[in-house]
A = this chain, B = another copy of it.
Amino acid sequence: MLSARVSLLLGILFLASLSVSLGISHRGHQESQEESDSSGRNNPFYFSSDRSFNTLFKNQYGHIRVLQRFDQRSKQIQNLENYRVVEFKSKPNTLLLPHHADADFLLVVLNGRALLTLVNPDGRDSYILEQGHAQRIPAGTTFFLVNPNDNDNLRIIKLAIPVNNPHRFQDFFLSSTEAQQSYLQGFSKNVLEASFDSDFNEINKVLFGEEQGEESEQEGVIVELKREQIQELMRHAKSSSRKTLSSEDEPFNLRNQKPIYSNKFGRWYEITPEKNPQLKDLDVFLSSVDMKEGSLLMPHYNSKAIVIMVINEGEANIELVGPREQQQQQQEESWQVQRYAAELSEDDVFVIPAAYPVAINATSNLNFFVFGINGENNQRNFLAGEKDNVMSEIPTEVLDVTFPASGEKVEKLIQKQTQSHFVDAQPDEQEKGRFVY
Contact = CB atoms under 8 A, between A and B. Distances in A.
A40 interface: no
A191 B395 contact: no
A329 to B, nearest CB: 6
A168 B354 CA distance: 12
A191 B377 contact: no
Copies per complex of this chain? 3
A78 B175 contact: no
A95 B401 contact: yes
Contacts of A394: 98, 119, 124, 142, 144, 174
Contacts of A337: 6-8, 10-11, 180-181, 183, 185-186
A339 B140 contact: no
Nearest to A124: B393
B2 A32 contact: yes
- Most chain B CB within 10 A, of A98, A374, A402, is at A402
Interface in A132-170: 138-142, 144, 162-166, 168, 170
Interface string A273-311: 000000000000000000000001011011110100000
Given A75-B165, A78-B166, A195-B359, 18 more contacts: A6-B336, A10-B336, A14-B335, A18-B329, A97-B401, A102-B356, A138-B377, A141-B303, A142-B394, A170-B355, A172-B355, A174-B403, A186-B322, A191-B359, A196-B384, A197-B427, A207-B413, A233-B397
20 contacts: A5-B334, A77-B164, A100-B381, A119-B393, A120-B381, A120-B390, A122-B393, A138-B304, A140-B304, A170-B355, A174-B403, A175-B402, A181-B337, A186-B357, A190-B361, A196-B417, A201-B437, A207-B405, A208-B403, A209-B404
A199 interface: yes
Contacts of A338: 6, 186
B121 A306 contact: no
A324 B11 contact: yes
A247 interface: no
Interface in A16-74: 18-19, 30-32, 35, 38
A377 to B, nearest CB: 7
Contacts of A298: 194-195
Given A15-B333, A19-B332, A299-B187, A379 B174 contact: no
A296 B194 contact: yes
Interface stretch (A84-92, A238-246, A251-259, A418-426): A418-426
Given A304-B138, A304-B140, A306-B164, A319 B187 contact: yes
Contacts of A217: 404
Nearest to A195: B384
A174 B391 contact: yes
A5 to B, nearest CB: 6
Interface in A171-205: 172, 174-176, 180-181, 183-191, 193-199, 201-203, 205
A425 B10 contact: no
B405 A206 contact: yes
Nearest to A75: B165
B355 A166 contact: no
B207 A404 contact: yes
Given A206-B405, A393-B119, A229 B400 contact: yes
B186 A319 contact: yes
B202 A413 contact: yes
Nearest to A191: B359
A436 interface: yes
B355 A232 contact: no
- Most chain B CB within 10 A, of A76, A140, A379, A417, is at A140
